[in-house]
Chains A and B, each alone.
Chain A
Amino acid sequence: MFFYYLDLAWRSIKKTPLMSLLMVLAISIGIGITITTLNVYQLMSENPAGERSDKLVAVQLWSQGKDAWKEFNNQLTYQDAYNLRKSDVPVRQTAMFITGLALQTEDPDFVPLLESVRVTDSDFFDMFSVPFIYGKAWDKGVDTEALYQVVINEVLNKQLFSGEDSIGKTLYLDSKPYQIVGVTKTWSPSPLYFDVTTGAFKDSAQIFVPFSLAPIEEFQSWGNNQSWKRESINNYSQRLNSEMHWIQFWAEVQDDKQRDEYAQWLKRYVEQQQLIGRFDSPEAAAQLSNVAQWLELNEVVPEDNKILVGLSALFLVVCLVNMLGLLLAKFLKRAPEIGVRRAIGASRAQIFSQHMVEVGLIGFGGGVLGLVWAWVSLSLLSSRFDLEQSLTHLDTSMWLIAPVIAIFAALVAGTYPALRICSTNPSVHLKSQ
């Protein structure tokens, strides 16, 4: 019977091409707009940590003084990060920040490149599930006893060593030789959740060096540096001992129990610091956020985007109301034919199904066309505004979501007209010619 309805629906659509086009257009534009905004929303609100989301926690400390900031800063001071690294409660932990270094190779003709470099601990790679092609992270010992070792990514490896296994080779950062210990696969979670301080939708760094080198090499911070205290910072050791917040800190816990344990440990740390005269605000405390909470806390999805999703949903409603009106008009015009079908023995359910199939078909058409609109508008927007590709590719889930929303929406809009037509008294239309 379904195919019979499909056949009837197709005939009916062909019979009133202009009206059908209008309906498909209405719903497709609604879907197009909704999918466009939903796509960006979805890509922004994705939790790239997946099932590890609950195990990874960002650490924040209310270390500022009494009248300073009224919220947790999302970075730590160097001294706190340094102390926290000594905790043995979490399974893994890492302090990190981003810097920039001049990259050179042993080739004297190589023009130096200024590369952004993540300064971090060996646990970073396991914590954030960074896949390796060659080698692995530097040894844990390097986190305390600094060595000039480096991990680079696939792209850079290709550029510098034409993709060969480069373990053991040397590259120069700020004229210092570093030994390559690992090459990662191209890996760039979006959003870049573990460091949202300078924008959550950037690519990951291509080079990683040990955090233990920071005090030796005096790496500059390329991220946010925020101070609440007026103190003079004229050299690196002043910076390391200052109250400036510029280090990100993440820990990995096994389960909720360990998380609680870690929270207790941090609480004691805060109390201990208070004893030596730091953390003098009454609100001094530590805060742990898992990845989902962290993304929420940092408003990784901008307000604008939420407004757009809301408005486009309303827009879709307008399109549906529009379609509802047109469907009602179209169906009621067909009342005499339906009268005949009813007289001949079609049940209400059959008439209803016939119309719902037609509506669904229109919805499907609208969904497919809507996907095309969404694709067009996303590519237009991304080329016009030079947006990150990670935000504007049409997510594969949309291939399913768009037609499903479209068909569902069309069916919702079609229900009233279909009910109207199948509940009219057939005898009324049989006589009137």
Chain B
Amino acid sequence: MLSMKNISKVFKTDLVETHALRDFNLEVAEGEFVAVTGPSGSGKTTFLNIAGLLEGFTQGDYFLDGVNISNMSDNKSAAIRNEKIGFIFQGFNLIPDLNLAENVEVPLRYRGFNAKERKRRVQKALEQVGLAARMKHLPSQLSGGQQQRVAIARALAGEPRFLLADEPTGNLDSMMARQVMELLEDINKAGTTIIMVTHDAELARRAQRNIQIVDGQVCDFTMYQSGEGHQGGERASEKPHLVTESHVSLNQDKVAS
């Protein structure tokens, strides 16, 4: 499904070069539920952005569903995002001026579906997250958990093969977080591959597979069979750094407090 080989990502500013990802290798099989953890500044978000085709990378190969992503044009990657990938964000990122149905409809618009098909899919996606009745409400009228469910509906509406979640429960209280997590698990069971970035170890443990990113590299991965605990997070052995300043944290990698 997803295959990253020797991916590197270097951010250059006038003063420093920062390696956000270095020789990053990862294979994710169809239908897997993968949790990605790692300390702040480790490169989690960069990984997610690259996986979601939001950012390019400096070196390496990335195949998504058998398609080579390297050097793909903006138009093509937009189309792939639209058709194959669903995004769920920590901050929900609903468009505040649009009501729920219109929010869910956004990807369908860009896909070019006709009105009837859009309506059918919006209805279905919102039913899936249990919010069909509130279709005409604005995001601001909903609780955080409900908003996140709408965001999930939006991600699902396009029937993606592949769901990317960035701290999906980070802004939710524990009860709502559990609801959202259960919803994600249901979706995964229905066949959608999910990659979830989180720093909540407990949440990560519920995924089939756990990956830890440290200093821009996959450090440790373990298969979890049945919720058996394992404390990941040991720091990788000190490898010789190619360039100095690998600890510079990227500004977009701030962890919400």
Contacts and interface: CB of A to CB of B under 8 A. Distances in A.
Contacts of B171: 433
A384 interface: no
Given A425-B54, A427-B54, A431-B166, A346 B110 contact: yes
B254 interface: yes
Contact of B154 (A4, A344, A347, A350): A344
A403 interface: no
Interface residues of A, number: 27
Interface string B76-98: 00111111010101110111111
B106 A344 contact: yes
B49 A427 contact: yes
Interface string B205-243: 000000000000000000000000000000000000000
Interface in A115-148: none
A430 B81 contact: no
Contacts of B13: none
A426 interface: yes
B97 A15 contact: yes
Chain A's interface: helix, strand, loop or mixed, by majority?
Answer: helix
Contacts of B74: 347-348
A427 B55 contact: yes
A336 interface: yes
B79 A4 contact: no
A407 to B, nearest CB: 24
A10 to B, nearest CB: 11
Contact of B111 (A343, A345, A425): A345
Contact-residue bracket for chain B: 35 or more
A1 B109 contact: yes
B110 A343 contact: no
Interface string B150-178: 00001000100000001000010000000
Contacts of A336: 93
Nearest to B157: A344
Contact of B78 (A347, A427, A428): A347
Contact of A348 (B75, B90, B97): B75
Given A337-B95, A432-B252, A433-B256, A344 B75 contact: no
Interface string A36-56: 000000000000000000000
B145 interface: no
Interface in B26-73: 45, 49, 52, 54-55
Interface in A323-375: 336-337, 339-350
Most chain A beta-carbon neighbours within 10 Å: one of B96, B106, B111 = B106
Contacts of A350: 78, 110
Most chain-A Cβ atoms within 10 A of its Cβ — which of B75, B78, B85? B78
A430 B93 contact: yes
Contact of B110 (A337, A344, A426, A428): A344
B158 A345 contact: yes
Contacts of B107: 344-345
B54 A343 contact: yes
Interface in B75-134: 75, 78-83, 85, 87, 89-91, 93-98, 106-107, 109-112
B54 A344 contact: no
Contacts of B80: 345
A340 B252 contact: no
A349 B90 CA distance: 27
A420 interface: no
A11 B97 CA distance: 8
Contacts of B87: 343-344, 430
Q: Lowest 8 A-B CB distances belong to which pairs?
A: A345-B82, A347-B78, A433-B91, A427-B54, A345-B81, A427-B49, A344-B107, A340-B93
Interface of A: 1, 4, 11-12, 15, 336-337, 339-350, 425-428, 430-433
6 contacts: A339-B93, A344-B82, A344-B87, A348-B75, A425-B55, A431-B166
Given A344-B106, A427-B55, A433-B91, 16 more contacts: A4-B109, A336-B93, A337-B95, A340-B94, A341-B110, A342-B81, A343-B52, A344-B87, A344-B158, A345-B80, A347-B79, A425-B55, A426-B54, A430-B89, A432-B252, A433-B171
